[in-house]
Amino acid sequence: MRIATWNVNSSRARAERIGDWLDRSDVDVLAMQETKARDHQFPESVFTDRGYEVAHHGLSQWNGVAIASRVGLEDVRIGFPGQPGFGEPEEREARAIAATCGGVQVWSLYVPNGREVDHPHYAYKLRWLEALREGGAARLAEDPEAQIAYVGDFNIAPQDDDVWDMAAFEGLTHVTEPERAAFAKLVDAGFAEVVREYTPGPGVYTYWDYKGLAFPKRKGMRIDFVLASPALRARVTGASIDREERKGKGASDHAPVIVALDGADSQPVDRPQSKK
Partner DNA sequence: ATGGCGTCTCACAGACGA
- Contacts with DNA by CB under 7 A lie at 7, 9-10, 12-14, 34, 36-37, 41, 61-62, 112-113, 115, 121, 153, 155, 173-174, 207, 209-212, 221, 223, 250, 253-254
Q: Which is nearer to DNA, 6 or 52 (CB)?
A: 6
Work out how close the CB of 219 gets to DNA at its nearest, in angstroms, rounded to a whole number.
Answer: 11
| Beta-bridge partner residues of 247 | none
CA 48 to CA 45: how far, in whole Å?
A: 5
Q: Which is nearer to DNA, 26 or 39 (CB)?
A: 39
Smallest distance, DNA to C-beta of residue 237, A? 29
CB 99, CB 106: distance < 8 Å: yes
Nearer to DNA, 28 or 44 (CB): 44
Nearest distance from C-beta of residue 179 to DNA, angstroms: 11
Cβ-based nearer residue to DNA, 7 or 229:
7
Q: How far is the CB of 171 from DNA (least distance, A)?
A: 10
Q: Measured from the CB of residue 148, what is the shortest distance to DNA in angstroms?
A: 23
Phi, psi of 155 (to 5 degrees): 55, 35
Instruction: Pick the closer one to DNA by CB: 64 or 238.
Output: 64
186 vs 223, which CB is nearer to DNA?
A: 223
Residue 40 Cβ, how far from DNA at the closest point, in Å? 11
